[in-house]
Structure 1
Amino acid sequence: MTDAGIQSILIADDEPLARERIRRLVDDIPGYQACGEASDGDSTLRGVAELQPDIVLLDIRMPGRDGMEVAERLNDLTHPPAIIFCTAYDHYAINAFQVQAIAYLLKPVRREALADALGRAGRVNRVQLQAMQARNENPETQLAVRTHRGTELIELAGIRYCEADQKYVTIHHAQGDTVTDFTLKELESSHPEQLMRIHRHTLVGIRHIQALHRSEDGQYRIRLRDDNTALAVSRRHVSDVRNRLSEA
């Protein structure tokens, strides 16, 4: 039983040294406390039933039921814990988000990456987890992005705009900013219903547009909702922008 305001964490990994290292990392991050450990799939499920943790740090390759199967079973619960995968293998990332994982961290897990993932898990309450499960039935509502912290899941509806700078693209979204090696062309072609080209260097989330303005110097700009961010619109895209806005 953890103190009020402290997020409880179950650590599931078949390697004792890995569990010990992750426990030390958790102990070093304020607001979180390890409530138990598990060494295989079955003991993980038993630990969740007995301890009711808020978050499970889950390895994928474990004896018996692997982490993916455990995650599927956990998501059938009425009140599932948030799941953060900690693994040495990067090729499970897309499958991880199909079972509603909050984050996917590669070993050796860094303190900064774990703290960031725990912070995101802590912001997802039980109601939001159930809503996330419903949304994940349609994978086109989310974007899996590989970053230096691991693979992150971004809600397409939360993307405000994407900005290219040399060979990287920064995605500005509801939870912050994420740098990715996706190109603007890839994002535009994959998600034409959500993202619209307004400039050679910029895509914008259509639902976040407040208005299209023309300044005294003849430059067109799109103003976004919430914080009134203004984004330049190139002349070649003005007509397309107007047409899309008239259809919205």
Structure 2
Amino acid sequence: MRLLVVDDEPLARERLAALVAELPDAELAGVAASGEEALLLAGTLRPDAVLLDIRMPGMDGLEAAHHLARLPEPPAVIFTTAYDEHALAAFEAQAAGYLLKPVRPERLRAALERARRLTRAQLAGIADAAGGMDATPMQRSGRRSRIAARLRDELRLVPVTDVICFIADQKYTTLRHTGGELLIEEPLKALEDEFAPDFVRVHRNALVALAQVESLERDAEGRLSVRLRHEAGTIAVSRRLASEVQRRLLQG
């Protein structure tokens, strides 16, 4: 079983890595010092499980779990936490495992054994549910507050409030935001389902943020298009979706 250890404290990382090294049926795939680094490594190393600290600066373990759940092959997420037993009980129904610091070898073995028995569908659901604990209202609703895009050895996190639109192009989707463009490997339908309250489908390959629509325009032949803010240009509205687009814009 390949494991990724994530903790912002060097001593905690070293201790967990040492415990993993003592397990005959486990392999240390890598270590990360932040939620952002964990996402980058998880996408390339494809660990079976992630030992994830909850409290970290920047992207904490809860938000990282939310993103990990959306990987094509989501790993099991086992949180490590300094919470007491009462707080721990509130989490136990929602995670592949929770380990109280300092982590004891027998607890680690038990958590890994449980993780081995989970299906991929169960892993995605568990990580998503765990990602909702102590989350923002957007995260608790099942929506991410930021979208991750991998760029070789770098991870970019774009706040959803900065997204102008998503444009689908075969297997990739272009994310246009207020600071530029990025490619992500997420289908447009999944993005539409996740962000439905704040986005509207204007074309079969285009999903637009309602807050980023400057105006709705009609040309001499009666065809509609939406003009986007931040000088992002216009996007044609399909005839099939025209009524729904107008309704959503009037509501907003």
**Relative contact order higher in (CA < 8 Å, ≥ 6 apart):** 2
TM-score, normalised to structure 2, is: 0.49
Alignment TM-score, normalising by the size of structure 1: 0.49
